[in-house]
Structure 1
Amino acid sequence: MSSVDAFKLVLICLIAMVGLQLLATRLRLPPAAALLLGGTALAFLPGLPPITLDPDLVLIVFLPPLLMNGAYFSVWDDLKSNFASILLLAVGAVVFTTLCVGLALHWVIPALPWAACFALGAIVSPPDAVAAKAVLERLALPRRLTVLLEGESLLNDAAGLVLVRFAVSAALTGAFSASSAALSFGLLALGGIAVGGVVAYALIKALKYLNDDFLMITITLLASWISYIVADFIGVSSVISTVTCGLAIGWYQHELFSAAARLRGTSFWAVMVFLLEALVFILIGLSLRGVVTRLEAHGALPLLIPAVATVIVAVIVSRFVYVFGIDGVGALVRRLRGDATRTDWKATTILGWAGMRGVVTLAVALGLPDSMPGRDMILVASFAVIFVTVVIQGSTIGAVIRWVAPDDTDVRNTRHLNEPQAWAHLEAAQLGAIESLVRDAEGKLIHPRLFEQYSYRAQLSKSISELDTFPTDRRIAHYDIVLAAIAAGREELLRLHRAGMLHDELMHALERDLDLQEISARHNRG
């Protein structure tokens, strides 16, 4: 396929995406499921050439910005308070699923080497950040469940990719060491954190010297690929490096970006992520044709159905066994400590059913070497797992949530202010900032329109309607004071957040209000 044909294919995918999004809305389906089904249907259209995806290109184009977006908008407080639970899912569930799938597959196909069985287990074990976000963003879940699922999807790819690397090496060489794998994972993770931190530090320093909104937004986009590519070049975890970089820039963006840059950047990222997610699922569907064609040529497709069905069942059941087992152990530990808290079967059921796979699973499967034992079966099983988890689980998770009706028992930390309390702090700071500015040295009120803004503006417009030009000095003086008040409110908001008194979600909401006020004031000031 030529470059021009590839571009035309992307345009066709974007056009199809619009229709599929509308169809998903009409049928009340998760967009990810509709896009995957649509891409699969497009793949078998007569006259359409087979689509061959470069797995390395898919990973490097789509994964870094999507990981960066998830990390950038992550809530620090929730991540910290649930970090142990996230790690149990991101690492423990990946290892457990890998073992269960490997054992089940070897039971069905004893001739397949153990390493190849575990390689498939590692490929299908990590739920995907893109799939999880695409399905969960339209569902109403208790806050803790959302944090666990999104946090898991950000970190588990690193564990899965390390396991795949060792499993493939073992399948090709016959050598494997569990201790070496564990040590390698630790080193890769620490290296990824270090690289992501260094890249974030350098970019944050650069952002401080820029005064151009579009350049600042461009740098945040480039940060995803820089952190990913540098980590990959050094040989450490690209996933963890990108997530670390995104978390760091997201933490400092309140101080680095102007109101206009922040609002423009948020809009830019929202549109870009929407397009990338849509293209990912359509391309996954399009890739099925090449896999099926290759297997039909060998007459192997019917023979693989039992093995593929076993893998799908093992993937789904092992996640339920793991999450319910962890919840049970946690309840037992709490009971031994004197806490009578019971297991939360409702939340655990949702965790078990929300294991959607996506782009990483497909890209890693497509990237397996041709000499890998059982490669064709691994490709079919990987696609089948993606298809079932996104289309079936993704389409029914809303019904599961309504059925179990989870208790929203999330309790905000008492050190966090609520919204009225936060506004009281901000408005007190703003009033303090303008009190000395609206009066002259004798205490006379010289800017009464700040107290009765709209009525004063109407009176002012009437009083100067006969003048040839508008008295800009009066307008500028007015909005200079407004901007001073907004700056004082922003400083107080940041102080409350850095002191741990303000939850990240409320911080973003109040900051957006101040950003809108500032943009309006700067526009009116001229």
Structure 2
Amino acid sequence: MDPIQLFELVIAMFLAIIVLHYAAGKLDLPPSVALLVGGASLAFLPGLPAIALDPNLVLVIFLPPLLMDGAWFIALGRLRRHMIGIASLAVGAVVFTCVVVAVVTHLLFPSLPWAACAALGAIVSPPDAVSARAVLQRVKLPRRLQILLEGESLLNDASGLVLFRFAIAAGITGTFSAVDAVGEFFLLALGGVLVGVAAGGTWVLLARRLGDEYLIIAATCLLSWSSYLLGEMIHVSGVIATVTTGLIAGWYQHTVFSASIRMRGTAFWTVMIFLMEAAVFILIGFTLRGVVERGGGFGVVADTMLVPILVILLALTLARFAWVFGSDLVIRLCVAVGFKRYTPLGLANATILSWAGVRGVVTLALALSVPEGFPGRDFILVTSFAVILGTVLVQGTTLGQMIGWVKPVEPESERARLTMAQAEAAMAQKQLVTIQKLAYDSEGNLIHPRLLERYQRRATMIIDYAERTEEYQPGLHAHFDVVLAAIATGRDELIRLHRAGKIDNETLHELERDLDLEELSAISAKS
């Protein structure tokens, strides 16, 4: 494939993303499902060349920015509070699932070496950050479940990568040391944290000194790849490095970004992440053709691999249920003996947490990177793709219904201390204090009477609304409907004046920007 054809294929892929995403919305399907199935269907179109993905390139291109995006917006306070639970899922559940899958695979194929069985377990054991994001965006979860799933998806790739590396090494050399594996994991993780701290700290210094908002946005977009590649270059965990960098950058962006940078940068970053996230699923679908061809065709795959694959998929799912419910039982026992620091999940929350283990790009990339000639490589590749397909199509599409059935409950300790209205009231009071100080000159003369009156009236209204939110809610919606209608009328008149040649482009853009900001503010206040 020449470079022009490759570029045409990329453009066609992005056009397909728009069409499939739109279709998913109309059919009320998770976009990940539509993109995965659509990509798989497109892969078999006559005349379309087979798509061969370089697994290392896929990880380097897609994983860092998607990890950075998750870490940037994660609730850091809740992440710290639930770190033990997250570590249990990101490390304990991954290792346990790997062992279960390895044992089941060896029982199904006694002739397959243990190293190959362990490699398959390592490949399919970590739920995927991209897939988790795609699923969680469509459902409403209690905060505790949300942070457990988000934190797990950010950190478990490191566990899976270490297990995979040792399984492949054991298959090639015939030796394995659990002590070495544990030691290397902690060294990789610690090294990744140090690299992430260094990269995040450097970014904070740059963002405060660059001055030019376009340079700051560009540097921020390159931050994820810089952190990941630096970690991999010095042989520590690029995943942990990227996540650590994202946590630091997300914490400091509130103080180092101006309003203009935040609005422009967030808009650009959101579109980029949307395209990359969608491209991951459609590329996974594209690989189906090569996977099936390696397995000998649909007929051979169905005859020789279908039953073992279904058994492994069932074992994979049950292993997560066993770990989550077993961990919750341990917490209950601790509470029973008087150790009440942690609250049990409960049946409903544990069920949702168990059902939310969707696999994706990391599983595919690891499967594709299994060396040629490795025992059971074709079966590993087909099974890995089947696990992705099965978890996305089954768990990804039914998670919303599962939440509706079991009705998970938010513990009282996880609920926000202040509502949004109460937080806005506290902010308005602080603003009023500042205005009251600055509204007078050094001699005590009132020099900004209208400004003081405006902020006093605003603070009174916001505080009153915070105390009687339910009473004012319908009227508030009606109020901002009128505001939005007035903005639309003003926009029409502005465009008419420009079309008639009565105002120039500069005036149009300046006034249009003011209307845009007013409209965004009204929409935000109404929601």
TM-score class, shorter:
0.7 to 0.9
Alpha-carbon spacing, 1:433–1:92, altered in 2? closer, same or farther (3 Å) = same
Residue 195 of structure 1: how far off its partner (Å):
0.7
Separation of aligned partners in 2, 1:149 and 1:438: 49
Q: Which runs of 5+ in 2 are unaligned?
A: 456-516, 522-527
Residue 441 of structure 1: how far off its partner (Å):
4.5
Which of 395, 404, 407 aligns to 1:405? It is 407
Give 1:99's aligned residue: 99
Separation of aligned partners in 1, 2:153 and 2:437: 51
Separation of aligned partners in 2, 1:361 and 1:290: 16
Residue 426 of structure 1: how far off its partner (Å):
2.7
**Residue 366 (structure 2) pairs with residue 367 (structure 1):** no
Give 1:229's aligned residue: 229
Deviation readout 1:416-435 (Å, 9 max, x if unpaired): 55545533443333223233
How do 1:163-178 and structure 2 match up within 5 A?
Answer: 163-178=163-178
**Residue 145 (structure 2) pairs with residue 114 (structure 1):** no
Residue 342 of structure 1: how far off its partner (Å):
6.3
How do 1:456-471 and structure 2 match up within 5 A?
Answer: none
Separation of aligned partners in 1, 2:393 and 2:258: 41
Which of 340, 351, 357 aligns to 2:353? It is 351
Q: Given that residues 143 and 410 in structure 1 are in contact (C-alpha distance below 8 angstroms), is that contact kept between their aligned partners in structure 2?
A: no
Q: Given that residues 116 and 167 in structure 1 are in contact (C-alpha distance below 8 angstroms), is that contact kept between their aligned partners in structure 2?
A: yes
Give 1:422's aligned residue: 423
Give 1:30's aligned residue: 30
AA matched with 2:396:
G
Give 1:133's aligned residue: 133
AA matched with 1:121:
G
Query: What percent of counterpart residues are identical?
Result: 52
Residue 216 of structure 1: how far off its partner (Å):
1.0
Give 1:333's aligned residue: 334
AA matched with 2:401:
A
Alpha-carbon spacing, 1:341–1:292, altered in 2? closer, same or farther (3 Å) = closer
Q: Which runs of 5+ in 1 are unaligned?
A: 455-515, 521-526
Residue 341 of structure 1: how far off its partner (Å):
6.9
Secondary structure in 1 aligned to 2:305? helix
AA matched with 2:363:
T
AA matched with 1:15:
L
Considering only aligned residues, what root-mean-square deviation do their CA atoms show, in Å? 2.2
More deviation in 15-24 or 391-400?
15-24
Residue 315 of structure 1: how far off its partner (Å):
1.1
**Residue 269 (structure 2) pairs with residue 252 (structure 1):** no
Residue 89 of structure 1: how far off its partner (Å):
0.3
How do 1:155-234 and structure 2 match up within 5 A?
Answer: 155-234=155-234
Q: Given that residues 189 and 236 in structure 1 are in contact (C-alpha distance below 8 angstroms), is that contact kept between their aligned partners in structure 2?
A: yes
Q: Given that residues 123 and 164 in structure 2 are in contact (C-alpha distance below 8 angstroms), is that contact kept between their aligned partners in structure 1?
A: yes
AA matched with 1:445:
L
Separation of aligned partners in 2, 1:276 and 1:441: 56
Separation of aligned partners in 1, 2:202 and 2:283: 35
How do 1:44-63 and structure 2 match up within 5 A?
Answer: 44-63=44-63
Q: Given that residues 331 and 343 in structure 2 are in contact (C-alpha distance below 8 angstroms), is that contact kept between their aligned partners in structure 1?
A: no
User: TM-score when scaled to structure 1?
Assistant: 0.83
Q: Given that residues 331 and 343 in structure 1 are in contact (C-alpha distance below 8 angstroms), is that contact kept between their aligned partners in structure 2?
A: no
Q: Given that residues 291 and 380 in structure 1 are in contact (C-alpha distance below 8 angstroms), is that contact kept between their aligned partners in structure 2?
A: yes
Residue 255 of structure 1: how far off its partner (Å):
1.3
User: TM-score when scaled to structure 2?
Assistant: 0.83
Give 1:270's aligned residue: 270
AA matched with 1:243:
V
Residue 412 of structure 1: how far off its partner (Å):
4.3
Give 2:320's aligned residue: 319
Alpha-carbon spacing, 1:106–1:17, altered in 2? closer, same or farther (3 Å) = same
AA matched with 1:46:
P
Secondary structure in 2 aligned to 1:411? helix
Deviation readout 1:209-257 (Å, 9 max, x if unpaired): 0112221111111110010001001000010000000001111111111
Residue 294 of structure 1: how far off its partner (Å):
2.2
Alpha-carbon spacing, 1:323–1:185, altered in 2? closer, same or farther (3 Å) = same
AA matched with 1:266:
T
Alpha-carbon spacing, 1:254–1:331, altered in 2? closer, same or farther (3 Å) = same
Residue 92 of structure 1: how far off its partner (Å):
0.5
Secondary structure in 2 aligned to 1:60? helix
More deviation in 297-306 or 377-386?
297-306
Q: Given that residues 143 and 414 in structure 2 are in contact (C-alpha distance below 8 angstroms), is that contact kept between their aligned partners in structure 1?
A: no
Separation of aligned partners in 2, 1:13 and 1:413: 42
